[in-house]
Amino acid sequence: MAAHEVGEILQCGGDVSATVLSHVNEDAFVEGNIGGLLPLMTIDGDLHQPVGKVNAGANVLGQTIKGPVSVATPCDCSNPIDIAGIVEGYKEDNDNELAGIEPDELADLVLPKVIELPCGVYFFTDIEHLLALKIKLTGRTVIAVQGDLTSIGLFDFELGPDAELDLFIKGNASFADIATIGDTERPAAFRMYVGGVVTFASLFTLGGNLYQPHAVFNAGGLAEIWGSLFVGGINLVGAFAIHYDEAILDIDGCEPPGGACFDGDDCGNPTPTCKQGECVPARPMRTAARPSPVSPAACASRSPADRAPLRRIRRLGGTVRGRARSRGGSGTIHGRSS
């Protein structure tokens, strides 16, 4: 089995370089060169590549078709989400006091800690722990972190059956030990927005959608992702698997569907695409755009006194698209890759 595998079609608007055994199950559309000292990549279908571009790193089992290749930009990267601004907004507008949560409650933790957060919006200065930290969520929740999320020990976000999480981190997120984030059975329930960079050194499992527009995603350890990535680039060093899940498209945003639009930024789920001045559902073809958080729903509680007030997250555009497939071995990418 190849260390890196694309389950369907590979589309790349630049150069491709394989440093380990890689496998593309269908065709490859590459606007640039395919580099490598050895042909470590195998393309089962055809390779489409412009005249003048070189293939030095792929064994093509189909045909090599020379001609114009145009890979559409899958995401609008010119207008990134203002993660820092969102965090600063929730610094002043949150449910910490109602729930008895201090902003520095998760900073500089030395001993293991388990904390349960009900439905609501919570602001933390930093999340830093040495041994083990588990954050249990029971409803729709927003967590805003002004600084960094630094995990030295075991880390886990545990989502209850009715829980969803929008996690905004102004700085970086680093995981030095085993980290399990989100829900691999419900990736659409977890949305993670990072202003800096996510790094990990050990086993990293993400059941959710990561938005990291300003930095390259470095998969240095063992990593498996159920959901989607919107990142400034991707560097695969260790075994890596991503299973796209298009259920994120079915989550309602903060605006009603449909309506007039100028571009995709004017549209939200479930009609995230702007076509001829109207917000419409995304095309059947798998494309990528920005994940779209939702407002915390009505928080079910035993009494009005402990019901967290509703907050509305402003609509943040479209979502990442793709269908989760059967769980395969590490090093696989299921769905169309851009």
- Whether the Cβ atoms of residue 95 and residue 305 lie closer than 8 Å to each other: no
- As given in the structure block, the two tokens for residue 297 are 């729903």
72 located within any domain? no
Domain of residue 16 covers: 4-66
- Whether the Cβ atoms of residue 29 and residue 11 lie closer than 8 Å to each other: yes
73 located within any domain? no
Same domain, 178 and 55: no
102 located within any domain? yes
- pLDDT at residue 4 in the model: 74
Helices within 93-132 (DSSP H only): 96-99
Q: What is the pLDDT along the chain (338 residues), one digit of tens a residue?
A: 456 778 788 888 889 988 778 889 899 999 999 987 788 899 999 999 999 999 999 999 999 999 999 887 766 677 788 999 999 999 988 999 999 999 999 998 889 999 999 999 999 999 988 888 999 999 999 999 999 999 888 888 889 998 999 999 999 998 887 777 888 899 999 999 999 998 887 778 889 999 998 888 877 667 788 898 888 887 776 677 788 888 887 776 555 667 788 766 667 655 667 788 888 765 433 333 445 555 554 454 333 233 332 232 333 333 322 222 222 333 333 333 33
71 located within any domain? no
Same domain, 61 and 84: no
Amino acid at 12: C
Same domain, 49 and 82: no
C-alpha–C-alpha distance, residues 106 and 158, integer Å: 16
Same domain, 121 and 28: no
- Whether the Cβ atoms of residue 213 and residue 193 lie closer than 8 Å to each other: no
Same domain, 127 and 89: yes
Classify residue 202 as left (phi > 0), alpha (psi -120 to 50) or beta: beta
265 located within any domain? yes
Same domain, 314 and 199: yes
Amino acid at 237: V
- pTM, two decimals, is 0.70
- Whether the Cβ atoms of residue 127 and residue 103 lie closer than 8 Å to each other: no
- Whether the Cβ atoms of residue 289 and residue 76 lie closer than 8 Å to each other: yes
- As given in the structure block, the two tokens for residue 194 are 């990072």
Same domain, 102 and 25: no
Distance of CA 283 to the CA centre of its chain: 20
150 located within any domain? yes
**Among the three residues 66, 97, 113, which one is the final residue of a domain in this structure?**
66
Give the burial class of 320: count Cβ atoms within 10 A of its Cβ; 0-12 exposed, 13-18 middle, 19 or more buried. Answer: buried
**Among the three residues 44, 66, 88, which one is the final residue of a domain in this structure?**
66
90 located within any domain? yes
For the beta carbon of residue 285, count every other beta carbon within 10 angstroms.
9
113 located within any domain? yes
How many domains in the chain?
A: 2
User: What's the N-to-C CA distance of the chain in angstroms?
Assistant: 22
- As given in the structure block, the two tokens for residue 21 are 């055994």
**Starting from the edge strand earliest in sequence, which strands make up the sheet with 28-30, in order?**
10-12, 28-30, 47-49, 64-66
Same domain, 39 and 143: no
Same domain, 212 and 320: yes
Same domain, 178 and 309: yes
User: Degrees (nearest 5) of the Cα angle 67, 68, 70?
Assistant: 145
Same domain, 249 and 142: yes
Same domain, 22 and 55: yes
Give the 3-state secondary structure of residue 84: helix
**Among the three residues 31, 66, 101, which one is the final residue of a domain in this structure?**
66
For residue 191, give Cα distances in angstroms to 144, 228, 255, 258, 303: 12, 10, 18, 23, 29
The residues that bridge with 201 in the sheet, in sequence order, are none
